[in-house]
Structure 1
Amino acid sequence: MLRFHFTPEDLTRLRIATAPHPLWEIAASLHRFQTHEGRWAYAPWYRTARSALSTTGLDRAVRTVLLPLFPRASYFPDFLTPADGAAGLDAGLESILAAPDRQVAREVTKLREIVGAPAWTRKLTDGPMREQLVRALRAYHHAVITPFEERIHERLHAERTRQTRTLCGTGIEGVLNTLAPSIRWRPPVLELGNYPTECDIHLNGRGLLLIPSYFCWNTPVSLADPDLPPVLLYPLHHSPAAPQGADGHLPLHALLGITRTGILRAAATGATTTEAARHAGVTPTTASHHTTVLRDAGLITSHRHANTMLHALTPLGASLLQQNGTRSLL
């Protein structure tokens, strides 16, 4: 179990990342190749990624370089997910190159002791070997994550919308209690029940950065070193698209039609017009027409964020879904 110990000051310094952290997403996506858990949620990405790695010849680098450094296990090195990565891929990769040799040596040694790692990892304190690693990380991101960046950003915007509604409705306590099923807020401690190691992190006024992750599945992740800036990577909500003829939604289908029902369900966790369109199996133009109808009926609200329109349920819309067998995540 992992426990974050909060002070009152830490609660005022709780933050949610405003953009995907590319290096954490690289780490979490590499974990998806190492398990069948949650494969249904990433099926389109998995197929596309496997094809891209094979076509570009990166599959060997992933097997021999990246997977040994990012095992889906109780530990992988902290220097691979630096705080500077919040500013983007380039900033994060520069931080990996600039990581102190002593830190890299210590963390690689820990990886070998806890999980096991190839002998070449000892050379990561050398500039040329770390540059090779950075090239592999950049190529991997370009091949398998960049094509899905639009969807990843959409899901993150939807999560921030969900958390904003939770904050307005139930405060910080509500936010901390709805991060993931395995996370429990027992004031003043945030507990991660299924964490692979036993650890207590005393925040001591440093606050906590919450990083919602598209590729993180089921088990949240944190840095191993308690002296580093505290972060908690937690999984976004994923829900399988129900078959359009699912019996549980026949009353809604009769009332709203299949397409509007699909769009309403997509709005349960917050959705952009493009994401709602994918969920309902229609074009964005068609989805835009239906969101207007749902908005005029008082079932959803829509707010513009930069060039993106975000849709969320109103209390009436949430009640309608709940009464027809769909559990709202708001």
Structure 2
Amino acid sequence: MREQGLERPVGTLLQPLYSRGVYFPDFLTPFQASDGLESGLLAILDAPPARTAGEIDQLSRSSGISRWTSEIPGAQGRRELVRILRAYHRTVLAPHWEHIQARIEAERAARLRALLARGVEGLLADLGPTMRWENPVLHVKYPAEERDLHLNGRGLRLVPSYFCWGAPVSLADPELQPVLCYPVLQEPATPSLDAAWDGQEKALAALIGQARAAVLRTTASGATTGEIARAIGVSASSASRHATVLRDAGLVTSSRHGTSVLHTLTPAGASVLRASTRRARKPTADHTEVRRRR
């Protein structure tokens, strides 16, 4: 950041603006950002000045802001903010974006398969320890004040986030399109090639090789060749070769879906995986009761 001249603007503008307090301005996380960084930055530029000023004022009351932050509601202030955000992304985040995106895509694939297999009930039931689904209410361990968010038929956009730490967050304004941003800091269940396996999992790796054992684990919920490659950190051609060996052994079956090949476990493959992990599992603590959210 020093080389790019970002140390001062990050310290005087971004850090106060993106505070870790209970309030965060909604205009900084526009719905249009689902179409990519540039769409999100354009939405920040186009945010109504009155709304921006009101949210900056609320931020000032909750956590305090710097002189530079107070200038954001003006057109020039927002142009400067977008310039710094773009430079920060290019300098700090872009070099790691492939790894971040792979983790997000793995989470999205897992949610989609849960939806296809068990419907909305299955998708909401597996969102993680900070959320609990009890039809028709989704209970969320929320970091800010306790409140109920009524969807009223608007739907809920779930956003897996690499940088959302601890607990899910939502927009402050209940009139905006409902969004729930939840953390995916934990690595996926599929181990990477250099992961330390315990107990029976080591025995499986010794039997068929660590890479193929990782591929077998990855295909437990279904995975394309590209997803396997990203999950275990190998090339697509290597992932394809491992999947072929497992398919020839009767442990995996493959089918084409559009331009991708989806690999899933056969009954024999599922039996092998269950046998290898049965003794490795450890009991987990009961889910801690969380405050009611919707």
Common topology (TM > 0.5): yes
SS at structure 1 position matched to 2:238: helix
Residue 238 of structure 1 aligns with which residue? 187
1:183-225 Cα deviation digits (max 9, x unpaired) = 1112211110243321111111111111122333341111011
Write the distance in 1 (CA, Å) between the matches of 2:92 and 2:37.
14
* Counterpart residue type for residue 122 of structure 2: G
Match of 1:265 in 2: 217
Whether contact under 8 Å (1:301, 1:312) holds in the other structure is yes
C-alpha displacement of 1:317: 4.2
Q: What TM-score results when the alignment is normalised by the length of structure 2?
A: 0.80
Task: Write the distance in 2 (CA, Å) between the matches of 1:315 and 1:215.
Answer: 37
| Residue of structure 1 in register with 2:172 after alignment | 224
Shift of 1:251: 1.6
Q: CA separation in 1, counterparts of 2:100 and 2:169?
A: 18
Cα distance change of structure 1 residues 91 and 283 upon mapping to structure 2, 3 Å threshold: closer
122, 129, 137: which one pairs with 1:181? Answer: 129
Other structure's SS at 1:229 match = coil
Report the counterpart of residue 170 of structure 1 in structure 2: 118
Q: Match for 1:75 among 23, 37, 40?
A: 23
Question: Residue type matched to 2:203 in 1?
Answer: P
Change (3 A) 1:309 1:75: farther
Overall identity of the aligned pairs, in %:
49
Distance 1:108 1:73 in 2: 13
- The CA distance in 1 between the partners of 2:19 and 2:271, in whole Å, is 42
The 2-side partners of 1:163 and 1:147 are apart by 27
**Which structure is richer in relative contact order (CA contacts within 8 A, separation 6 or more)?**
1
Residue 196 of structure 1 corresponds to 144
How far residue 56 of structure 1 moved from its aligned partner, in angstroms, is: 2.9
Instruction: Work out which of the two has the higher radius of gyration on C-alpha atoms and give 1 or 2.
Output: 2
**1:155–1:271 contact (8 Å) kept in structure 2:** no
Q: Larger % of helix: which?
A: 1
| Structure 2 letter corresponding to 1:258 | Q
Alpha-carbon offset, residue 136 of structure 1: 0.8
1:149 to partner: Cα distance: 3.5
> 1:118: how far off?
1.5
**Aligned pair in 2 of structure 1 residues 280, 87: CA closer, same or farther (>3 Å)?**
closer
Range moving further from structure 2, 161-170 or 196-205: 161-170
Where in structure 2 are there 5+ consecutive unaligned residues?
282-294
Distance apart, 1:105 and its partner CA: 1.2
Select 1:256's aligned residue among 199, 202, 208.
Answer: 208
Q: Give secondary structure in 2 for the equivalent of 1:124.
A: coil
